[in-house]
A and B are shown apart, each in its own frame.
Chain A
Amino acid sequence: MKKKWPPWVLPAAAGFGILLAGALAGGWTGVLQKAIFICLECIGIG
């Protein structure tokens, strides 16, 4: 009988792949740049 994958496997693998692709393309640097300075929008004066 063919083994059926649990339903979370495909979206989790896709999420990991997209996250990895984004990280390798430099997405993490953009997030870091936003996160290490006080976000004026977040504190309500931006």
Chain B
Amino acid sequence: MGRRNRQARRNRQGKRLVVQAAAALAMNPMLQGFVAGRIWQGSAKAACVPGLNCYSCPAAVGSCPLGALQNGFATRSLPMLAYAGGFILLAGSLLGRFLCGWLCPFGWAQDLLGKAGSACGIRQAPFLGVRTARLLRHGFLLAFVVVLPLFFLSSPAFCQFICPAGTLQAGVPLLLLNPELRRLVGVLFYVKLSILLLVAAGSVLSIRPFCRLACPLGTLLGFLNRVSLIALQVDPVRCTHCGICAKACPHGVDPVADPDSDACIRCRLCADACPTAAIRLGIRRQDPAMEKGTVP
């Protein structure tokens, strides 16, 4: 029975990887750009995509909402701020951090590295506790997305100094394919490349270190986890408070105590681990137990 459960759990997590791959391809279908070394310039790029997906990626068809938001602050453009901010508010209200767990291409890249680590027998442990990680995330959001672009640099500071997704999707391929861009490379590129390599190594040793410690988009979506349409819900009648779900959560969340934690990326590992099927990921119900009819 235990083996069958483990197999079912692996199958369900496998489905999540397939959804993540499909989302990454849907956001980056112009693969010929990786050969030509040019970025796609169609009008669909005016639309934001639901994930941290660099708009300078040669294959991207849409815009990164975080990049658009930073550019809104950097250029002090209220329409651009409203456009990008409204998109994040709308996407977060509907999906919350389900977007991180199921759609974000950079989250998928980290998950793949984590799987590779697990396959090599590396036991992944989260860096830092939930509170310290939250503090760091909030700090990155405030400093690099709002304060620096708005008051000091007039440029998208998070993209410029940190974003490993931009380095992976745009920096590395574009520099490999364009000799004229390579001539412009300076210290900053190597700093960003080091950040990317650090995140890659961290993803093998720990679960999604970038999402847990730094991602400003995940931080914004985390605020909306408490209200989002897609939610994790615990049936209080079925739950036996055995604590298996909390042990299964790689992000250190206790789904019974706080199913809407801003650290929860809705990966559903807790639901898969629950022996009484008390946890479900789906449309938020006002009172799950009453709607299911388990409470008279």
Q: Nearest chain B CB to A11's CB is how many angstroms away?
A: 4
Q: Contacts A15-B86, A22-B79, A29-B46 given; indicate if A39 touches B159 (C-beta within 8 A).
A: yes
A1 at the interface (CB under 8 A from B): no
| Neighbouring B residues of A34 by C-beta, 8 Å | 55, 63, 67-68, 71
Chain A residue with the shortest CB-CB distance to B55: A35
CA gap between A5 and B191 in the complex, in Å: 48
The interface on chain A, measured as residues whose beta carbon lies within 8 A of the other chain's beta carbons, has a size of: 37
Q: Nearest chain A CB to B94's CB is how many angstroms away?
A: 6
Q: Contacts A12-B90, A30-B79 given; indicate if A44 touches B193 (C-beta within 8 A).
A: yes
Among B3-11, B105-113, B118-126, B166-174, the one that faces the other chain is B166-174
Q: Nearest chain B CB to A19's CB is how many angstroms away?
A: 3
Chain B residue with the shortest CB-CB distance to A23: B83
| Neighbouring B residues of A23 by C-beta, 8 Å | 79, 83
Q: Are B189 and A42 neighbours in the complex by a CB distance under 8 Å?
A: no
Q: Contacts A25-B78, A32-B45, A43-B56 given; indicate if A11 touches B174 (C-beta within 8 A).
A: no
Q: Nearest chain A CB to B34's CB is how many angstroms away?
A: 14
Identify which of B56, B92, B167, B174 gathers the most chain A CB atoms within 10 Å of its CB. B56
What 0/1 pattern do residues 1 to 42 of A give for CB contact below 8 A with B?
000101110011011111111110111111110111111111
Decide if the interface of chain A is mainly helix, strand, loop or mixed. helix
Contact of B79 among A27, A35, A37, A42 (CB under 8 A): A27
What bracket does the count of chain B residues touching chain A fall in?
Answer: 35 or more
| Neighbouring B residues of A15 by C-beta, 8 Å | 86-93
Q: Are B185 and A7 neighbours in the complex by a CB distance under 8 Å?
A: no
Q: Nearest chain A CB to B290's CB is how many angstroms away?
A: 13
Q: Contacts A31-B63, A39-B170, A43-B171 given; indicate if A25 touches B79 (C-beta within 8 A).
A: yes
What 0/1 pattern do residues 68 to 87 of B give for CB contact below 8 A with A?
10011001011111111111
Q: Nearest chain A CB to B85's CB is how many angstroms away?
A: 6
Q: Are B77 and A30 neighbours in the complex by a CB distance under 8 Å?
A: yes
Residues of A within 8 A of B (CB): 4, 6-8, 11-12, 14-23, 25-32, 34-46
Q: Which 8 A-B pairs have the closest CB atoms?
A: A27-B83, A19-B86, A22-B82, A15-B89, A15-B90, A22-B83, A18-B86, A27-B79
* 11 more CB-based (< 8 A) A-B contacts, given A32-B46, A42-B160: A8-B94, A8-B229, A16-B90, A21-B86, A22-B78, A22-B83, A31-B68, A32-B43, A41-B166, A44-B189, A45-B189
